[in-house]
Structure 1
Amino acid sequence: MTSAADAIVSLYARHAAAYDRQRGRKLMEMRWLDRFLSLLPAAPSVLDIGCGMGEPIARHLIARGCAVTGIDSSAPLIALCRERFPQQDWAVADMRTLSLGRRFDGLIAWDSFFHLKPEDQRRMFPLFRQHATEGAALLFTSGPAHGEAIGSFEGEPLYHASLDPAEYRALLAANDFAVAEHVVEDPACGGHTVWLAQRR
């Protein structure tokens, strides 16, 4: 498990082109994104944590008038973001050491945060708070229950982990976020377990 977790960064760098080809552009996430946007001010700043190549989520946010800052550990994926959306801000960065020195109206970690080991996930919540304005919305996906799982991408192990839902709630509360909506294995969103919270 540990070796698979440690290989995530290099996996997405080495297989960026394959990920770009295979990542669906249909927005099954639309309802969640619209709910997220409903909590934000006009022309909001949004931090996309683990943004991949910027499609389809960042593209949707940009089309809705958001100023997007995207970070990803994969340099090839960030290069695609810069090519496709040159007016936005993109940076190669490891979310675990995120320190941008600014706050955002909204933060998203969709299908990215759950690649971290449990101890690294716990450390992310102060970073979420550090980068969130008062009233900022936070949208992220997790697993349905505590545990680790190994999938496969391009024939290599693909690591996922989740904390217990009660621990996510406690971490959010400890970092000044209130849960606005939470659905386990949402059937309308491809079975994703989704959290939407708002900073108090």
Structure 2
Amino acid sequence: MDNAAAREILPLYQRHADAFARLRSRSLFEKTWLDKFMAAMPPSGRVLDIGCGNGQPIAEYLIQQGVELTGVDGAEAMLARARSRFPAQRWLQHDMRTLALGETFDGLIAWDSFFHLTQDDQRQMFPIFARHSRPGSVLMFTSGTGDGVAMGQFEGEPLFHASLAPDEYRAKLTEIGFAVLEMKMEDPDCGGHTIWLAKRV
């Protein structure tokens, strides 16, 4: 069931793009962390938003701050909304697990996206982060709090999440040359999210 639910993530978001747009909080409770992310990279830098969804509210806020944004998502129905709202930015339909753009970015963000992958697929993402970064690049992502799988529900369908142990995330970041700038478990000021902010040395 877990692997079946993991395989269904992109079709699920494709089917329910309208519901996601309706239900996704626009309160920007993520603002403090987005500001930390931008403060750690050059002004008006180039950002790769991995699992960007429909571009609201996170990509929207980053764009408002002057970044040049490339958004990647596997669900075309989500990207269509992003393209219509923010036509000046670049929006690419692609499965993050096979991403190979042949370019690097000042910042990479995977907010509430990469944690929908299986644990093995998450491990395989770290070389992908490395290929799209360079010394000085900043990476921010959200994760679970410990090793395991957690099932949620969206529009009455199973919603897959997984996480590695915090020590393994740290080890994977070290392997690709990133130092953790800040990590917070279940930040009460950010909707209970567990957030990692790292910079490539």
Using structure 2 for the length normalisation, give the TM-score.
0.99
Query: Which residue number corresponds to residue 192 of structure 1?
Result: 193
**What secondary structure does 1:188 align onto?**
helix
Name the amino acid aligned to 2:148: G
Structure 1 distance, partners of 2:28, 2:94, is 25
Structure 1 distance, partners of 2:79, 2:3, is 26
**What secondary structure does 1:55 align onto?**
coil
Percent identity for Structure 1 against Structure 2 = 56
**What secondary structure does 2:145 align onto?**
coil
Residue 88 (str. 1) matches residue 89 (str. 2): yes
Query: Which residue number corresponds to residue 157 of structure 2?
Result: 156
Residue 52 (str. 1) matches residue 53 (str. 2): yes
Query: Which residue number corresponds to residue 131 of structure 2?
Result: 130
Structure 1 distance, partners of 2:156, 2:7, is 16
Residue 112 (str. 1) matches residue 109 (str. 2): no
Name the amino acid aligned to 2:64: A
Query: Which residue number corresponds to residue 17 of structure 2?
Result: 16
- Structure 1 consecutive aligned stretches of length 4 or more whose deviation exceeds 2 Å: none
**What secondary structure does 2:106 align onto?**
strand
Query: Which residue number corresponds to residue 173 of structure 2?
Result: 172
* Unaligned stretches of 5+ residues in structure 2: none
* Unaligned stretches of 5+ residues in structure 1: none
**What secondary structure does 2:91 align onto?**
strand
Name the amino acid aligned to 1:119: D
1:18-40 CA-to-partner distances (Å, cap 9, x unmatched) read 10111111111011000000011
Query: Which residue number corresponds to residue 41 of structure 2?
Result: 40
Give 1:42 shift.
1.8
Using structure 1 for the length normalisation, give the TM-score.
0.99
1:44-79 CA-to-partner distances (Å, cap 9, x unmatched) read 000000000000000100010000000001001111
Structure 1 distance, partners of 2:160, 2:109, is 20
Residue 5 (str. 1) matches residue 6 (str. 2): yes
RMSD between aligned residues: 0.5
Give 1:133 shift.
2.3
**What secondary structure does 2:172 align onto?**
helix
Structure 1 distance, partners of 2:134, 2:31, is 24
Give 1:114 shift.
0.2
Residue 98 (str. 1) matches residue 99 (str. 2): yes
Query: Which residue number corresponds to residue 29 of structure 1?
Result: 30
Name the amino acid aligned to 1:127: I
Give 1:43 shift.
1.2
Structure 1 distance, partners of 2:185, 2:119, is 18
